[in-house]
Amino acid sequence: MRRWLLAGALLGVLLIVALAGLVAFNVARQFESPGPHAAETSVVIPTGAGLKSIAQSLTEAGVIRDPLTFRLGVRYHDAARDLRAGEYRFPAGSSMRQVMEILRRGETVVRRLTIPEGLTSQEVVALVASAEGLRGEVGPVPEEGSLLPETYHYSWDDERGQLVERMATSQQELLDDLWAERDPDLPLASPEEALILASIVEKETAVDGERPLVASVFVNRLKRGMRLQSDPTVVYGLTQGQGALGRALTRADLNAPSAYHTYQIDGLPPGPIANAGRAALEAVFHPASTSYLYFVADGSGGHAFAETLDEHNRNVAKWRKLQRQQTQGTQ
């Protein structure tokens, strides 16, 4: 009788072992098999998410079929504590093992936020505030001109305030480097004055090749003690950095007193009127060598430059004639 009992027990153990082996084989096969998603799929794994929560998120996104199989496979590879939070893009058909390895290596999505040149600090803050995937508040609006316009990389759940700090640090580092290598005869007493002038150049032209020419006009004027007479500074005095004026300047605008009104004040305004990019800064530190004192729009998106007032007046007359023709053509 005992012999039969022992045989039965042994058979039961063998069946259990066989069943366990079969389950393990099936789990391993599913863990290595292609996933169900037919296209690249994005999933955000929150900070602090455990293995069960991660598996459920992947299942709901359609990246894996069975959360239990994923959990068993991850635990078999002793990787449960290695899975990292963040935003991920899983290639179409990724197996559970491939998904695990992507999470294990922390291959998160690199997002990009482009800050165009010439925005005010308030406009930059608005862009950062609306950027998807960032968290937290920006904080106080940074000083005008203190942020470097360029493309910044970030990851899901990065802090908005830290991204803005990176912009400020980049601007200060660039300003310091360019100031150390500036042309020797610039009529600028400090990097801050250069930043002010660069912001004006930035708002006057968006044509790359013109920035050194526009900078030369303002540098030549400063050297001669002439007023800068820049329309964008008048606009900034009216808007205080809130955004675009949305209309042409009027005679009343040109008569209104303002610390930024460079038709009324001597020298530079008290601060930048926008955030200048690298090209505008480089143009101010290394302006073109010219005798230009004036410029006006030429109707093609650029400007006509002049050394004398008579020549400038002729360029202005051409521009106004072109404006009238364009107005008549639209009526």
Regarding whether 128 and 92 lie in a shared domain, the answer is: no
Report which residue type is found at 92: A
Of residues 62 and 7, which shows the higher confidence score?
62
Regarding whether 325 and 243 lie in a shared domain, the answer is: yes
Q: Is 305 within a domain?
A: yes
* pLDDT tens figures, 106-152: 999 999 999 999 999 999 999 999 999 999 999 899 999 999 999 99
Other CB atoms within a 10 A radius of the CB of residue 244 amount to 9
The pLDDT confidence band at residue 331, using thresholds 50, 70 and 90, is low
Is 60 exceeded by the pLDDT of residue 4?
Answer: no
Give dist(CA 171, CA 156) in Å, integer: 24
Regarding whether 157 and 81 lie in a shared domain, the answer is: no
**In this structure, what token pair is assigned to residue 33?**
């098999």
Q: Is 16 within a domain?
A: no
What is the residue range of 155's domain? Answer: 111-169
Please give the pLDDT value at position 240: 87
Is 50 exceeded by the pLDDT of residue 18?
Answer: no
Regarding whether 161 and 140 lie in a shared domain, the answer is: yes
Domain count across the chain: 3
Of 221, 228, 197, 210, residue with least CA distance to 304:
210
Give dist(CA 305, CA 278) in Å, integer: 23
Note whether 316 and 296 are within 8 A (CB): yes
Q: How far is CA 283 from CA 121, 148, 152, 201, 230, in A?
A: 21, 15, 23, 8, 17
Is 60 exceeded by the pLDDT of residue 7?
Answer: no
Mean pLDDT, the chain, rounded, equals 90
Regarding whether 323 and 191 lie in a shared domain, the answer is: yes
Regarding whether 293 and 191 lie in a shared domain, the answer is: yes
**In this structure, what token pair is assigned to residue 161?**
């305030």
Regarding whether 296 and 227 lie in a shared domain, the answer is: yes
**In this structure, what token pair is assigned to residue 325?**
């023709």
Regarding whether 254 and 320 lie in a shared domain, the answer is: yes
Please give the pLDDT value at position 319: 87
Is 60 exceeded by the pLDDT of residue 15?
Answer: no
Please give the pLDDT value at position 29: 82
Give dist(CA 230, CA 272) in Å, integer: 13
Regarding whether 312 and 226 lie in a shared domain, the answer is: yes
Give the whole-number percent of the chain exceeding pLDDT 70.
90
The average pLDDT across 255-275 equals 94
Report which residue type is found at 53: S
* Beta strand segments in the chain, E: 41-45, 86-90, 111-114, 151-154, 294-297, 303-306
Report which residue type is found at 198: A
Is 90 exceeded by the pLDDT of residue 41?
Answer: yes
Give dist(CA 167, CA 76) in Å, integer: 44
The average pLDDT across 2-10 equals 55
* pLDDT tens figures, 167-197: 999 999 999 999 999 999 999 999 999 999 9
Sequence-ordered list of residues with C-beta below 8 angstroms from that of 1, at least 6 positions apart, any chain: none
For CA atoms 245, 247, 268, 180, the dihedral sign is positive
* pLDDT tens figures, 218-235: 999 999 999 999 999 999
* pLDDT tens figures, 65-101: 999 999 999 999 999 999 999 999 999 999 999 999 9
Is 50 exceeded by the pLDDT of residue 200?
Answer: yes
Please give the pLDDT value at position 325: 76
- ∠ CA 71-77-79 to the nearest 5 degrees? 70
Is 80 exceeded by the pLDDT of residue 254?
Answer: yes
Q: Is 14 within a domain?
A: no
Q: Is 178 within a domain?
A: no
Q: Is 298 within a domain?
A: yes
* pLDDT tens figures, 203-215: 999 898 999 999 9
Regarding whether 162 and 71 lie in a shared domain, the answer is: no
Is 90 exceeded by the pLDDT of residue 236?
Answer: yes
